[in-house]
Chains A and B, each alone.
Chain A
Amino acid sequence: MAIEFTFTPKQQMFQRVVRNYLRLEVWPNVDEDKSGHGTFPKKTIQEMGKLGLLGIPFPKEYGGAGLGEIGYCIFVEEIGRIDASIATIVAAHQSIGTTPVWLFGTEDQRRKYLPGLTDGRHLAAFALTEPTAGSDAASIKTQARREGDYYIVNGRKLWCTNGDQADVIVLTCVTDPALGARGGVTSFILEKGTKGFSIGTIEDKMGIRNSSTAELIFEDCAIPAENVLGRVGEGFIVALTALDGGRTGLAAGSLGGAQTLLETSIDYVRSRRRHGQPLSQEQAVQWRLADMAVEINLTKYATYHTAALVDEYYHLIAGGKHVPDALRDKISMNAATIKVFASEMTARCVESALEIQGGSSIWDRNRVERAWRDHIIAEIYEGTSEIQRLIIARDVLKMGGTY
């Protein structure tokens, strides 16, 4: 009896519906804006909200579709096939923007924020990185000082995806500089329009140009104490838990991108003839295609395996159940593994597609040219490849191997 990994009929139907929608309705309109900092695809995001595509994994009682992390990854994989900018926007909204409110919010916070976020009326973001704290996230400086019923926030956040578009931002601040990462960092739910909060620079980027990457500025910004997300001092647990699911989704997005690179390469070698025969007849080309297919197929299994693990893990946390440290480690290890592998695998597919399609692949508006610029961020955001390797190394050193 083989160990079979298949989607349930419900997941298959969701994949079919999403694929049809994206190919027919979204794909014709995904042109990149190459001027300034790009154009946020507001209309498409609103339409996706109405179709329930911004609340896929969340329980129905909070307005979600209840399709779990696997449903979420199916969507990100499909959107990753056609547009990395939109993939970035919807991933930041659902995984690291909305998930923490579901996992760590009080019942009041969930009831207040989740319905708007899951039905697409509101957009979410997640703010951690700072000018002097990237991979060393523990050295964040943005401070939240308690004053009566409020926390007064001062500092700056950088490279916040959806930052200027979001209605709700999960914000990580230092509440006790003496304690640092262990006990001194707290998460907050920040609402758009809160006094003292403003948007700084919106970045002009090489890739994912239509997604918005903003600087957030806090000058004596007063956040009500009831907006503390999770326990005071446990902000890093909130952030790292959200990032486990976030990284899994990003792997799914990379997987989608890699499949498009393979498909466009196949189309090209079938139609391009050289020396009287199609390029597809050349072994050198076939090996490249085979290598792409091998990595894509294996990544698919690993990604959805991790998505299934994250799904169980998140439901334990949301249900207030005890989560053993060993499970936490296992999830982080798996998420780091597929994040680093899928993003670097897509980089190899970009290189193969460039080799196969030659000069025509670097034309303006060619899929490969855009993928080359779009894929780079996948090896950087939500933890660089190096950070993922540190997580994996820490785990194998602790365990004495893999398990």
Chain B
Amino acid sequence: MLVQRVPDPNRIAVDRKTGKLITADIPYILNPVDLNTIELALQLKEATAAEVVALSIDEPAAEFEMREALAMGCDRALLLADEAFEKADTLAQASLFRTALDRFVKPQVVLAASRSIDHNWSTVGPQLAQLLDWPLLIEAESLELREGRLGGVAHTGAYRARVEAEPPLVVTVARDANRPRTPSSWGVAKAFDEKNVEVKTLRDLGVDPTTRKTFEPKTRLLRVQQQDIKRERRRLEGEPAEVGRLLARRLVDQGWVGRRP
């Protein structure tokens, strides 16, 4: 299971001059969609007794957020931390994940969030599937193992699709797929007293340090622009029930709540 920490969205801002996110002194949280991913993985674990491993590429400080995954019930946490990874874009990350998975985990199923809320990139899962040459199930809302095949319900825009494939496979998990569990106090204690975050460097991955260039980004983030949300006032008139319907219609049409049928 691939996870990553993101700056707390309630505290984040964009520097309008440089077009970069201001991340100094901002607390990190686990990517909210990762919480759905972890929940789905743990449900799978409860049904099949599988081992759940959380894997991330980040600075050593991300160990704290990895402990949250352990507190929720993940069995192991692996953190790939090396200066060489700093510039890695999603393609380079997918390649690192492939190496680490092969070396330390050998999984049957890889789960990844369908997107991260910081840049809304949703490419790592699909890129990894491509590199591994495994089938890919996207936007899964639920998963179940039946007669050796992993079936899931994928939610893509206006419709739900039931899909199944034979492991090994890569699954990306839909936002709000489920209600992530709250770690118990026992879980928190265990995450620090009995479990460890295994930190792995370039050397541990067995990657030849001279191939650092592999991690040179092929995509580059140029500029982030904050979206200005303007408040709009409009007066709706009529019978209360009619006004209610109109208001709901408008909110849905403008994409504020719900989904368009």
Asked if B64 is at the interface (CB within 8 A of a chain A CB), the reply is yes
Asked if A53 is at the interface (CB within 8 A of a chain B CB), the reply is yes
Asked if B68 is at the interface (CB within 8 A of a chain A CB), the reply is yes
Contact B182 A66 (CB under 8 A): no
Residues of A52-68 whose CB lies within 8 A of B: 52-53, 55-56, 60, 65-67
The prevalent SS among residues of A at the interface is helix
Q: Within the complex, which residue of B67, B182, B192, B193 is in contact with A51, where a contact is CB–CB below 8 Å? A: B182
| Contact residues in B for A65 (Cβ distance below 8 Å) | 184-186, 188-189
Q: Within the complex, which residue of B64, B185, B191 is in contact with A52, where a contact is CB–CB below 8 Å? A: B185
| Contact residues in B for A55 (Cβ distance below 8 Å) | 185
The answer for the CA separation of A55 and B188 in the assembled complex, in Å, is 13
Q: Within the complex, which residue of A13, A51, A60 is in contact with B191, where a contact is CB–CB below 8 Å? A: A13
For chain B, the bracket of interface size reads 10 to 19
Asked if B6 is at the interface (CB within 8 A of a chain A CB), the reply is no
The answer for the CA separation of A60 and B192 in the assembled complex, in Å, is 14
How many interface contacts (CB-CB < 8 Å) are there between A and B? Answer: 52
Asked if A351 is at the interface (CB within 8 A of a chain B CB), the reply is no
Closest residue of A by beta carbon distance from B64: A9
Contact with A along B185-225 (1 / 0, CB 8 A): 11111011100000000000000000000000000000000
The answer for the CA separation of A25 and B182 in the assembled complex, in Å, is 10
The answer for the CA separation of A176 and B12 in the assembled complex, in Å, is 66
CB distance from B194 to the nearest CB of A (A): 10
Contact B68 A13 (CB under 8 A): yes
| Contact residues in B for A53 (Cβ distance below 8 Å) | 184-185
CB distance from B222 to the nearest CB of A (A): 34
User: How many chain A residues touch the partner (CB < 8 A)?
Assistant: 21
Contact A51 B64 (CB under 8 A): no
Q: Within the complex, which residue of A17, A50, A60, A67 is in contact with B71, where a contact is CB–CB below 8 Å? A: A17
| Contact residues in B for A60 (Cβ distance below 8 Å) | 186, 189
The prevalent SS among residues of B at the interface is helix
Asked if A71 is at the interface (CB within 8 A of a chain B CB), the reply is yes
Indicate whether A9 sits within 8 Å of B189 (C-beta atoms), given known contacts A17-B182, A17-B183.
Answer: no
CB distance from B33 to the nearest CB of A (A): 16
CB distance from A51 to the nearest CB of B (A): 5
Contact B188 A13 (CB under 8 A): yes
| Contact residues in B for A20 (Cβ distance below 8 Å) | 182
Asked if A14 is at the interface (CB within 8 A of a chain B CB), the reply is yes
Indicate whether A17 sits within 8 Å of B189 (C-beta atoms), given known contacts A9-B67, A51-B182.
Answer: no
| Contact residues in B for A21 (Cβ distance below 8 Å) | 182
| Contact residues in B for A10 (Cβ distance below 8 Å) | 188-189, 191-193
CB distance from A26 to the nearest CB of B (A): 10
Contact A71 B185 (CB under 8 A): yes
Contact A17 B192 (CB under 8 A): no
Closest residue of A by beta carbon distance from B63: A9
Contact with B along A8-30 (1 / 0, CB 8 A): 01101110110011000100000
Contact B64 A13 (CB under 8 A): yes
| Contact residues in A for B187 (Cβ distance below 8 Å) | 52
CB distance from B17 to the nearest CB of A (A): 26
Given A12-B64, A65-B185, A67-B188, 18 more pairs with CB closer than 8 A? A10-B189, A13-B64, A13-B67, A13-B192, A17-B188, A21-B182, A50-B184, A51-B185, A52-B184, A52-B185, A52-B187, A56-B185, A65-B188, A65-B189, A66-B189, A66-B193, A67-B189, A71-B185
Q: Give the top 9 A-B pairs by smallest Cβ distance, nearest first.
A: A52-B185, A65-B185, A10-B192, A52-B184, A21-B182, A52-B186, A51-B184, A65-B189, A14-B188
List the interface of chain A (C-beta within 8 A of B). Answer: 9-10, 12-14, 16-17, 20-21, 25, 50-53, 55-56, 60, 65-67, 71
